[in-house]
Each structure stands twice: as C-alpha cells, then as structure tokens.
Amino acid sequence: MADPQSKRAVDAPTLDEALRRTARAHPDIIAVRTLDDRVSLTWSALLRRVEAAARGLARLGVGRGETVAIMMGNRPEFHIADLAAVTLGATPFSVYLTSPAEQVRWLLADAAPRVAFVEQASLPVMLEASKDLPGSMRIVVVGGAAIDGAVTLDELERSAPDLDLAVAARGIGAEDIATLIYTSGTTGSPKGVQLTHRNILCAANGLEQIIRFRPGFRMVSWLPAAHVAERMAAHYLPMVFAGTVTCCPNPREVLSVLPQVRPTWFFAVPRVWEKLKAGLEAKLAAGPDGPRQQIEAAIQCVRMRQRGEAVSAALEEQVAQADKAVFAPIRAMLGLDQTELVSVGSAPTPMDVLEFFHALGLELADTWGLSETCGAGTVNRTGKTRLGTVGTPHPGMELKLAHDGEVLLRGDYVMRGYRNAPEKTAEVIDADGWFHTGDVGVLDADGFLKIIDRKKEIIINAAGKNMSPANIEAAIKSSSLLIGQAICIGEAKPYNTALIVLDADYAPQWAKRSGIEAASLEELSTNAEVSRAIDSALQKANQHLSRVEQIKRFRIVSGDWLPGGDELTPTMKLKRKAIASKYQPLIDEMYAP
C-alpha cells in the first residue's frame, strides 16, 4: 500500500488535504511573499499560520457550511484567511475593494458570513454595509488596530492554540462548497457561483496537462481575489503544485514587478498587452531602423505559419538571428524571459497585438472561461496556438454549439449551482448537465473556438443586421492609446455610434506632449484637439470593420469609468443597459438629424 504522504496534492479529495500534502512534500519552498520579502512564508510556515487562524475562527463559531467574507487586496494574509476557512470546511468568498457599501451589503445578505476579514482601509465600507443586517458577523482586522467587537489577525491566530482541527478536517467532503465567486452582475444583482473542492481540483488536474507546474514555479498575484482567474492562477494552483506567489498590491505596477519576479506563467487582460506593445513600439521608433525591420520580418513569419505556409530558410535564419540579438533582450527586460505560458483573456484581443508578441517570441495565447467553470473552457496550447481563436477545450471538458451558436460546456469543472437561486441555476444547467454559457461562438474544422459575442449583447440594427459590439469595441480601443473605454451603440438604429472614455493614464501625458494645458479628463473631453485625435483613431478603426459595423458619430464622455461604478462591473465588463440609460441625452445627440 502506498504511503499516504507520498500522494500528490492534485489528487487529494479536498483543498485542505491538498494544502497538507504540499506542505509535507515541499516544506521549504516559498509559498507566498511580498516583493520586499518583509513577509515570506514557506509552505510549512504558511500551513502553521493557516491552522492557527483556523483555530481562532472555530472559536468564533465558524464551522463546516458557514461562510467567511474577505475584503482585502493582494497580500499574504489573504491566503491565510482563505485557507483557514477552507480548513474548517467553511466557504470563503472575496469582496472587491472598489465595491460601494450597498453592493457589499447585498453580498453579505446573500452569503450571511459568520466572520469577515477586512483590511483597515476597507473597514468603513464593511461597517456601513453590515449595519442592521440580521445575525451577528465578527470582524477580523488585517493590517491595523481592532475596533470595538473586532479582533486583529494576530489576535485571532493566538486565540485558541490547543484546539484540535482533526475533527473538522474529517468532516470535509469533495462536494462541499470551497468558495463563492460572485459574478459581475451586468444584467442585475450578482450571482454566487458555488465551486466545490472537486470542481477546483478537477480544473487543476486539467491545467496540469497543459502547463508544466514544477515545484517553485512563480506567479504574480495582482488581480482581485474575487476574480476567478486570480483565485485559480495565484491561489489554488500554487497551493496544489507548490508554486511561489509574489503579491503586487497595486495592479498599475504589475509590469514593473515582472522583472523582479520573472514569472513562469503570466496572465493579463488585453489592455495590458496593448499598452505594453505601444510602449515597446515607441522605444523602437526612437532607435535605429534595424530592430523594427526585424520585428516586421518576424511578424511576416508568424502570419505565414498561421496560414500553414512554408517559411523559407532565409527568413527562418533572419528571425532566429533577430531573436538572439533583439527579441531575447526585450523579453529579459520585460521580465518574461522565463515564462512558459503567457495568457490573455476576458475580452477580444486585437490581432496585431497577438502577432506582435508572437514575433517577439512570447506566444501570447487567448483563453476563455467563466466563473461557473472555474475559469476554464478553452485554451490555446503552447506550440499550437491559432491566432484569432480561444483554442480548444480544456482536458476533460466537453463543448458543443447550440442551434443558435451558444457555446455549451459539460464536465467536472462546472459549478454546483448559484447560491440561493435554484431557478437561475436551472436556466443555465440543463437536464443533461450542459452549462449554457451565454457566449456565441463558431468552431473551425480543427475544433478551435472563436467567440463572437455574448448572446444577449448582439446588436441588431434597424436593417436587421447582426453585429458583435465586443469586436467593434476592440477595434476602437486598439486604434489609439487615448481611448480607455468604448461602447458601441446601434441596437435598432440606422447606424453605429460610440461613447468614448479617455485613458486616465495616457491622455494627460499625450496632452502635455501636445502642448495642451488642460490636465483633467473632464477638461480634455471637451478639447477640440483631443476630439480630432479621437476622430482620426475611429477612422483608422473603421478600416478594419465592415461598412455596416463602422462608427459614424461619437461623443467623448466626461471623466473616467471605474470598476464597480455605474458603467463597469468590478471585472471591467460594460454595463450596457445602465450606460444606455445614464447617457441617453448624449446618445440622442448622435442620432439627431
């Protein structure tokens, strides 16, 4: 009979057992750290702190089936708090730091947590949100002093040193809810996606067949933990495969963190890659012509390979020499020279961005998934990437298209259901176990999926033409770094228009270089020179769109759209109905004679 301690963590029945197996097998590998190593915990040290916090939670009444809220940024204490709840068979869930009190209150009412871990800076929001709610919720303060009725994390870890956790561990099952992921709520209140221990570990097993997770592999934690991609990539997978997580508390600084971490796997949304491409192109434009010509040759090579054409030996040699002399130093400068996979997702990625990074030797791979499927769905494999698609199904995932093109998924990755919403669960999971994703796609002859748009977001204009607003918006945003957000308007209209939001980081820099004194986004939104620049960018975008898709008029919106605000969900998805209502006067202007 095999020694139980030799069993792989990924084959454990539950996440708490997976954590113990990892800590036993790799006790001295760093589990989680801050960039300055002020906090640096090995897997054995992390387990000790998790168990101490779990004993403290048990003393506060947390047990199997209870829920625990976590409202904190990317810091080592998140991993302690989350796994302490898991160790007791409880269900942790994360709250976006940008959420206003009324949104937090909705989550607290739905999840009914026994305890909430809260960063000092978020205490006012949490206290306002929990006021007068039924039941009693204790607060654990992280990174600050306790208030009346609350305890600090340090106090929690010291509060019950002799409590035996063995009983709690024996009661946890693979079908217990391991976490709640609250969806963005683009069409109403958020829904609590219930992911079980089995769901998450099956997803980890599938990903292991795509990515080589060697002990000590490196990840940067920079997305909100309430996002399924962050939870899987920078929390569960490192725990199962003994990775090392470096915390980046400010997402705007993630690109500057990469050279200090040199991650093995890096995931970012398209806008990050677009800005990185623009920055590199600006540097190359200021230098000699050689590197630019070498990138153009490499892009030509990428395009030929994608078309299945043979690449001449001369071009192969030219690109190989350029890789050694130019591209490899660029990858090292970016901190991406040791990555085995670089991924992009959550929105369509412009083809020129994909081709650019492939030319640099970074096989940027579009991936697609949902909270309801542990973030998994389809993925482009290294060496087999097909640009313009989101790849083929993850191992163990079944995929088919409904009669209207909606993508359906089935497999062990699919959630148990939405919390407190059996009718909504029945709407998306049919009697045969197929999850109806709401995304519309097409499959090519080799089974690669291309997502067209959300089923409920397809635009049908006055002439009955169906269009994908997401693809139109991607073309708009890729036309200029001045454009931070864009929404295409055209439902039942004679032509398409767009609302444009200026990029909060780039627009002020552009204005300064252009000799414009106005510094705020509000001032720049009414500036004639800015308007001309946006008009020029839209003309450029229109060249990549069909005649019916092209933008005929636009308006620049004053100010910015922030995650969790009126216009964007916390995961940066457009709240289309809310935007249409809020900006109705501007929209009416664009359709006036």
DSSP for 364-375 reads: -EEEEE-GGGTT
- Could you give the count of Cα atoms lying within 13 Å of 267 in the half-sphere of its Cβ? 22
Whether residue 161 has pLDDT greater than 90: no
In whole numbers, what is the pLDDT of the chain averaged over residues? 92
Q: CA-CA distance, 544 to 332, in Å (whole number)? A: 33
DSSP class per residue in 16-74: HHHHHHHHHH-TTSEEEEETTSSSEEEHHHHHHHHHHHHHHHHHTT--TT-EEEEE--S
Q: Tell which of 254, 274, 309 closes a domain.
A: 254
Q: Which residue type occupies 263?
A: P
**177 three-class SS:** strand
Residue located via tokens 């992921």: 181
CA-angle at 471, arms to 440 and 413, nearest 5°: 40
What span, in angstroms and rounded, lies between the C-alpha atoms of 3 and 199? 25
Q: How many helices (H) and strands (E) does the chain have?
A: 23, 26
Q: How many other C-beta atoms lie within 10 A of the C-beta of residue 152? A: 18
Would 138 be classed as within a structural domain? yes
Range of weakest confidence among 14-18, 120-124, 559-563: 559-563
354 lies in a domain? no
State yes or no: pLDDT of 185 exceeds 80: no
The reply to whether 519 falls in a domain is: yes
Q: Which of 254, 274, 293 marks a domain boundary? A: 254
**Average pLDDT score over residue span 234-251:** 96
Return left, alpha or beta for 65; rule: phi > 0 is left, psi -120 to 50 is alpha, else beta.
left
Please report whether residue 259 resides in a domain.
no
Q: What is the 3-state secondary structure (H, E, C) of 100-138?
A: CHHHHHHHHHHHCCCEEEEEHHHHHHHHHHHCCCCCCCE
Q: Mention every residue, 6+ apart, whose C-beta is less than 8 A from residue 58.
A: 88, 160, 163, 165, 168
What's the average model confidence in pLDDT over 238-249? 97
Residue 555 has pLDDT above 90, yes or no: yes
Nearest to 301 by CA among 356, 364, 380, 382: 356
Residue 412 placed within a domain: no
- Measured CA to CA in angstroms, residue 308 lies from 233, 304, 305, 353 at distances of 32, 6, 5, 20
Read off the pLDDT band of 295 (50, 70, 90). Answer: very high
Question: CA 181 → CA 100, 110, 136, 167, 506, distances in Å?
Answer: 18, 12, 22, 27, 32
d(CA 521, CA 502): 7
The answer to whether 209 and 395 have CB atoms below 8 angstroms apart is: yes
Domain end position, chosen among 235, 254, 273? 254
With respect to residue 347, please indicate whether it lies within any of the assigned structural domains. no
Task: Please say whether the beta carbons of 416 and 366 come within 8 A.
Answer: no
Q: What angle do CA 529, 533, 539 make, to 5 degrees?
A: 145
Report the pLDDT averaged over residues 4-29.
91
Q: Which helix (H) or strand (E) holds 299?
A: helix 289-306
558, 521 Cβ separation under 8 angstroms:
yes
Phi/psi at 286 (5° precision)? -85, -5
In a domain, 305, yes or no: no
Do 68 and 91 form a contact (C-beta atoms < 8 A)? yes
Phi/psi at 52 (5° precision): -65, -45
H-helix or E-strand spanning residue 310:
none
Return the residue matching tokens 């961005």: 353
**DSSP H helices in 371-498:** 422-428, 469-478
Do residues 103 and 564 lie in contact, with contact meaning Cβ atoms separated by under 8 Å? yes
- Tally the domains of the chain: 2
Averaged pLDDT for residues 387-402: 95
Count CB atoms within 10 A of the CB of residue 519.
12
Q: Is 70 exceeded by the pLDDT of residue 108?
A: yes
C-alpha 438: how far from chain center: 18
Tell whether 130 is covered by a domain. yes
Domain carrying residue 503: 459-590
CB-based burial, 365-388: b 16+ in 10 Å, e otherwise: bbbbbbbbbbbbbbbbeeeebbbe
CA 142/CA 108 separation, integer angstroms:
19
Domain with 212 in it: what CATH number? 3.40.50.980
DSSP annotation of 287: S
Cα 64 to Cα 572: distance, rounded to the nearest angstrom: 33
The span from the first CA to the last CA of the chain, in angstroms, equals: 81
The CB-side HSE value for 314 (13 A sphere, CA atoms) comes to 0
Is residue 5 very low, low, confident or very high in pLDDT (cuts 50, 70, 90)? very low
pLDDT above 80: residue 276: yes
Q: Which of 71-85, 211-225, 456-470, 505-519 has the lowest mean pLDDT?
A: 456-470
Task: Give the pLDDT of residue 6.
Answer: 53
Q: At what angle do helices 506-513 and 528-542 cross, to 10 degrees?
A: 110
| pLDDT at residue 339 tops 80 | yes
pLDDT of residue 270: 85
Q: How confident is the model at residue 188 (pLDDT cuts 50, 70, 90)?
A: low
pLDDT at 212: 85
Residues 350 and 544 sit within 8 Å (Cβ to Cβ): no
For the ranges 63-67, 100-104, 344-348, 485-489, the lowest mean pLDDT is seen at 344-348
- Predicted confidence at residue 135, as pLDDT, reads 80
Does residue 2 register a pLDDT over 60?
Answer: no
Residue 345: the pLDDT is 83
Q: Are strands 365-369 and 377-379 parallel, antiparallel or unpaired?
A: antiparallel
- Residue 470 sits in a domain whose CATH number is 3.30.300.30
